[in-house]
Amino acid sequence: MNTDVGQNRWIEAGLAEIAARGVEGVRVEALAKTLGVTKGGFYWHFADRRALLAAMLESWSRGRIVAFEAQAQRAGTTAQEQLHGLVSLYTGSPNPQGLAIELAIRQWARHDDEAAAAVAQVDAARLRIVGLLYQQLGLEPSSAAARAFMLYSFVFGQSLVFSGEPKREQATSIAACVEFLTRTFSAAGTRR
């Protein structure tokens, strides 16, 4: 669909801007100044500002999903190790730029349907992958899915999770969550 490489400069500048100032900061004129071109040139690559925002969402959601899948499918590790690897993606040194973008987009998604759809796609992919890993650990699908949701909520931060699920109890800490994750299947495996 998109073979216009020139779009990427605008998309990246837009993502940097949304991280710094939120959606409202993503202005065609300001971006043009950042890129050292005039705002007229923007319309060679995009129909209008909305098209840029849509492309930013597309780029972001696709990137988040492939990054998560790549980490999950890393060869030579057990399901448990893969889970830890995924968790560490968001607890180790959480690329502050990436986190800022994610927060800004989730903020935006609170009042924009297209942004909400992108966030929902990303959340669904992450929950699906974590759920599959839990299934590999022996949980039946529904339990695995439930646990995936808990883990995701813990790791990402409940208030930021974009989901229709009812509110969960307060998360104690990431550490407790990881402990819980490890303890679960040695003592209380659902099926062997």
> Does residue number 48 form part of the binding site for DNA (CB under 7 A)?
yes
Alpha-carbon distance 123 to 58, whole Å?
A: 14
Reduced to 3 states (helix: H, G, I; strand: E, B; else coil), residue 13 is: helix
Return contacts of 156-164, CB within 8 angstroms, 24+ apart.
156/90, 160/102, 160/103, 160/106, 161/123, 162/106, 162/109, 162/116, 162/119, 162/120, 162/123, 163/123
The site map against DNA for 4-43 (x = CB under 7 A) is xxx--------------------xxxx-x---xxxxxxxx
Is-contact 66 28, C-beta < 8 A? no
Q: How far is the CB of 25 from DNA (least distance, A)?
A: 8
Q: Which does 5 bind (CB under 5 to 8 A by kind): a second copy, DNA, none?
A: DNA
The site map against DNA for 146-185 (x = CB under 7 A) is ----------------------------------------
Is-contact 7 55, C-beta < 8 A? yes
Is-contact 105 122, C-beta < 8 A? no
For residues 69 and 112, which CB has a smaller minimum distance to a second copy in the complex? 112
For residues 42 and 156, which CB has a smaller minimum distance to DNA in the complex? 42
Return contacts of 176-183, CB within 8 angstroms, 24+ apart.
177/87, 177/150, 177/151, 178/84, 178/87, 181/83, 181/87, 181/151, 182/80
Q: How far is the CB of 109 from a second copy (least distance, A)?
A: 10
Alpha-carbon distance 155 to 90, whole Å?
A: 7
Q: Which does 4 bind (CB under 5 to 8 A by kind): DNA, a second copy, none?
A: DNA
The site map against a second copy for 87-116 (x = CB under 8 A) is -----------------------xxx----
Number of residues binding to DNA, judged by CB under 7 A: 22
Q: Which of 2, 8, 20, 50 binds DNA (CB under 7 A)?
A: 50
For residues 111 and 191, which CB has a smaller minimum distance to a second copy in the complex? 111
Between 141-156 and 113-136, two packed helices, what is the crossing angle to 10 degrees?
Answer: 120
Which residues contact DNA by CB under 7 A?
4-6, 27-30, 32, 36-45, 47-50
Which residues contact a second copy by CB under 8 A?
110-112
